Structure formats: structure tokens, C-alpha cells
Amino acid sequence: MYRPVQLAHCLLKHRTEVPSQFLLVGDGGVGKSSLVDRLHRVDTVLLDSWSSQGSSQAIDGIIRAGQAFILVYSVVERHSFEDTVNYCKKIRQVTQDSRAICALVGNKRDLSHEREVFSSEGRALARELDCDFFETSAKTGENLELVVQTLVQRLRSTQKQTEIGQDSSA
């Protein structure tokens, strides 16, 4: 159900970035692997199901290693959309950070004729979960770069704020 992904040097524009660990989280079949396959120069570790990957402690350790989280659902599978709420709660519980950097991503936008989840529902849930919102297509690559750019910018901003806070307390 979740897939940690090392996105260092994923896009040429981000070569100067410090390697960041992004976790893609979502139900099986929502397109996590396909999204990763569209991103070049990506080292991945695949965990197929968070409920079947062993101990809760091991899963919690992987979540704690994440710096940003991409909650993926399929716009053609309502249950996958509904399940993202539980994934987000688990991430925030484990990281003990209600402001963990997250993006809610509705994948399979290219199948809009089969849509079960509307964009307006995704935006509303993203506001509720305090996440950025995107709709993507792993098939066409639509909006994938925007997701990565946005999360990298948020990570930079968070790191700068942390550095400023540390400098002022010294």
C-alpha cells in the first residue's frame, strides 16, 4: 500500500537538491508504481501492502524516514479516495506532526469518462487534511513534475524555517 521513493535527481531541475525521501501511499492499483515509472532517475524500494509488510514497528520506521508524503488515489475508484484519510491519520500519528508535508494526488485523470471522484471532492479533502492537491495521469505524465516541484519547494521552505529557528535560539 505504500512505496518509499528516493527522489534525488529525479528531475534535472532538482539536481542541487539534498536527496529527499518521498513516500507514495495508497491502495493497490491506484497507480503508484506507474507514477514512479514516469519519473526518471529514481531509486525505489517497493512495499506492496502496509498491512502485510510485517510489524507495525517496521512500518512506523519507514514512515518516520519520509520527509514528504504523496497520498495517491484513483479518480475511478471511490474507495481508494476514502482510504487516503486513514493513511494520512497514520502518517500524522507516527510522525507526531499534524503539519507533515503531504500532497493528495488523484491519479488516472486520463480516465475521466469513468470518474467516480470529482476534482472538487479532492480539493475539499485536501483542505481538510491540510495537503496540496493535484490530479495526475501516470499514463500521460500530466502534472507529475508539478507535484515534485511543489513538494521540493515546501521541503526547502520548511528546512529554511528550521534553520532560522535554530539560528535565533543559539
Q: 91 vs 169, which has greater pLDDT?
A: 91
Length of the chain as a residue count: 170
At 154, is the secondary structure helix, strand, or coil? helix
pLDDT band at 23 (very low <50, low <70, confident <90, very high): confident
134, 106 Cβ separation under 8 angstroms:
yes
pLDDT for position 51: 54
Residue 168: pLDDT over 50:
yes
Mean pLDDT of the chain: 80
Mean pLDDT of 132-157: 91
Burial class from Cβ neighbours inside 10 Å (0-12, 13-18, 19+) for residue 135 reads buried
26, 80 Cβ separation under 8 angstroms:
yes
Q: 68 vs 16, which has greater pLDDT?
A: 68
The C-alpha cell 508539478 sits at 146
Residue 129: pLDDT over 90:
yes
Q: Tell me how far apart the alpha carbons of residues 57 and 71 are, in angstroms, rounded to a whole number.
A: 21
* pLDDT tens-place string over residues 38-93: 875 444 444 445 554 556 777 788 888 888 899 999 999 999 999 999 999 999 99
pLDDT for position 33: 82
Q: 105 vs 55, which has greater pLDDT?
A: 105
DSSP string, 3-62: EEEE-TTSSGGGTTSPP-EEEEE--TTSSHHHHHHHSSS-EE--BS-TTTSS-HHHHHHH
Using alpha carbons, select from 143, 148, 141 the residue that is nearest to residue 101.
Answer: 148
Mean pLDDT of 134-145: 94
Residue 164: pLDDT over 80:
no
Grid cell for residue 79: 474507495
Select, from the ranges 87-91, 116-120, 149-153, 160-164, the one with the highest average predicted confidence (pLDDT).
116-120
All structural domains of the chain, each given as residue ranges with its CATH number in brackets, are 2-165 (3.40.50.300)
Q: 70 vs 13, which has greater pLDDT?
A: 70
Q: Tell me how far apart the alpha carbons of residues 7 and 49 are, in angstroms, rounded to a whole number.
A: 21
At 68, is the secondary structure helix, strand, or coil? strand
pLDDT for position 43: 46
